[in-house]
């Protein structure tokens, strides 16, 4: 069996595949492959480990309908046409749970960094702009005891809420498709409408998966309803906020700050005006980027491939309906 990986993967996952006797070929260039290159390389593989934003759409599936598995090196699957993959009877694997804590840490990091303008101060020092100590200049916002509003209280949203509750005594409100009973019981989290989330949150943190329904939901209209001192954090997908509207809201003071690990498009242009705003912190989509987590993701992604090759159900499957008779 042959496995193709679309980026260089952590060795822990490769070792597992090779121990099964599979031949692994990794994309060796230090850039993301194009859609055409993806199709070419997948034509000669039996299964793939897919990392990044290349699309699994009908064109790809038609060209590579022989694949036994598409194993994503991510929990998010918004680049995949899941219904089409099911029609082609190809199971899609992904990597939930193992990255929840690391990604929530990134959201929390962005929250603290933004509330204290940490990235801005770092840049000031690098420019030689450090005038001892000012009692009034460049003050941040205290987040202790404030209200965290989570859009999408799933695995990562829960970990973020837990951090904010335990470390900062924050009140938790959330907007989700379904009730999160664990969060309600353990963190005293309260489910609210999207409107109430906007109006009541001091910190808005996005942890929902990107769907058509949520595309650009944080727009001009939404930011007009937020508290002027609110901080917006997005570690989910850049498509969930409208960047121009976010920038305008920050300039007009209808929102105070923003911390982004995801942007639209990615990568963000180096001349993007958001990068010059003191109350904005941007990271290059590094939510899960710690060695231990990336190893665990690689192992889970490899286990999904192994299960498919052995004719078993994937360990973590996006489209379990593929197994329906």
Binding site for ligand DGY (CB under 6 A): 74-76, 99, 287-288
Q: Locate tokens 């930011």: which residue?
A: 223
- Residue 156 as a binder of ligand NAD (CB under 6 A): the answer is yes
CB under 8 A, 24+ apart: contacts of 254-257: 254/223, 254/224, 254/226, 254/228, 255/223, 255/226, 255/227, 255/228, 255/230, 255/231, 256/141, 256/228, 256/229, 256/230, 256/231, 257/114, 257/115, 257/117, 257/141, 257/231, 257/232, 257/281
Bridge partners (DSSP) of residue 172 are 148
Q: Rounded to whole angstroms, how far apart are CA atoms 63 and 308?
A: 20
Catalytic residue among 195, 251, 266, 321: 266
Q: Write out the binding residues for ligand NAD, residues 251-270 only, by CB under 6 A.
A: 261-262
Residue 259 interacting entry, from ligand NAD, ligand DGY, none, C-beta within 5 to 8 Å by type: none
Q: Rounded to whole angstroms, how far apart are CA atoms 89 and 249?
A: 45
Contacts of 58 (CB under 8 A, 6+ apart): 81, 84
**Minimum CB distance to ligand DGY, residue 173 (Å):** 24
Residue 157 interacting entry, from ligand NAD, ligand DGY, none, C-beta within 5 to 8 Å by type: ligand NAD
Binding mask 179-218 for ligand NAD (x = CB under 6 A): ----------------------------xxxxx-xx----
The verdict on whether 237 is a catalytic residue reads yes
Q: Rounded to whole angstroms, how far apart are CA atoms 249 and 260?
A: 15
Residue 96 interacting entry, from ligand DGY, ligand NAD, none, C-beta within 5 to 8 Å by type: ligand NAD
Residue 177 interacting entry, from ligand NAD, ligand DGY, none, C-beta within 5 to 8 Å by type: ligand NAD
- Residue 241 as a binder of ligand NAD (CB under 6 A): the answer is no
- Residue with smaller CB distance to ligand DGY, 75 or 249: 75
3-class state of residue 292 by DSSP: helix
Angle at 309 between CA 308 and CA 310, to 5 degrees: 90
Residue 199: CB atoms within 10 A of its CB come to: 14
The verdict on whether 266 is a catalytic residue reads yes
- Residue 153 as a binder of ligand NAD (CB under 6 A): the answer is yes
Q: What is the dihedral of CA 70, 72, 73, 77, to 10 degrees?
A: 170
Catalytic residue among 237, 241, 243, 294: 237
Binding mask 71-90 for ligand NAD (x = CB under 6 A): ----xx--------------
- Residue 129 as a binder of ligand NAD (CB under 6 A): the answer is no
For ligand NAD, which residue of 152, 238, 257, 259 counts as binding (CB under 6 A)?
152
Active-site residue set: 237, 266, 285
Applying CB under 6 A, the residues found at the interface with ligand NAD are: 75-76, 96, 99-100, 103, 152-157, 175-178, 207-211, 213-214, 235-237, 261-262, 285, 287-288
């Amino acid at each position: 069996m042959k496995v193709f990986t679309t980026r260089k993967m952590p060795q822990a996952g490769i070792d597992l595949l090779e121990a099964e006797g599979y031949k692994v070929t990794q994309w060796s260039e230090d850039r993301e492959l194009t859609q055409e290159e993806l199709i070419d390389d997948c034509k000669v593989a039996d299964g793939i480990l897919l990392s990044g934003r290349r699309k699994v759409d009908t064109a790809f599936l038609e060209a590579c309908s022989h694949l036994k598995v598409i194993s994503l090196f991510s929990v998010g699957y918004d680049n995949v046409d899941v219904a089409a993959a099911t029609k082609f009877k190809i199971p899609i694997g992904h990597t939930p749970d193992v990255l929840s804590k690391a990604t929530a840490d990134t959201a929390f990091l962005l929250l603290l960094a933004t509330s204290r303008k940490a990235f801005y101060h770092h840049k000031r020092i690098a420019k030689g702009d450090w005038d001892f100590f000012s009692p009034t200049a460049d003050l941040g916002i205290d987040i202790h005891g404030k209200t965290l509003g989570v859009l999408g209280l799933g695995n990562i949203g829960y970990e973020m809420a837990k951090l904010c509750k335990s470390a900062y005594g924050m009140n938790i409100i959330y907007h989700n498709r379904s009730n999160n009973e664990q969060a309600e019981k353990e963190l005293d989290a309260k489910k609210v409408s999207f409107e109430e989330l906007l109006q009541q949150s001091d910190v808005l943190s996005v942890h929902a998966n990107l769907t058509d329904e949520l595309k650009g939901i944080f727009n001009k209209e939404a930011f007009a309803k937020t508290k002027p001192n609110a901080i917006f954090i997005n570690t989910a997908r850049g498509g969930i906020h409208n960047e121009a509207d976010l920038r305008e809201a920050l300039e007009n003071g209808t929102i105070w700050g923003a911390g982004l690990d995801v942007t639209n498009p990615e990568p963000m242009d180096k001349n993007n005006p958001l990068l010059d705003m003191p109350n904005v912190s941007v990271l290059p989509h590094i939510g899960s980027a710690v060695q231990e987590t990336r190893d665990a993701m690689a192992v889970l992604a490899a286990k999904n491939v192994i299960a498919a090759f052995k004719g078993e159900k994937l360990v973590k499957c996006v489209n379990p309906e593929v197994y329906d008779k």
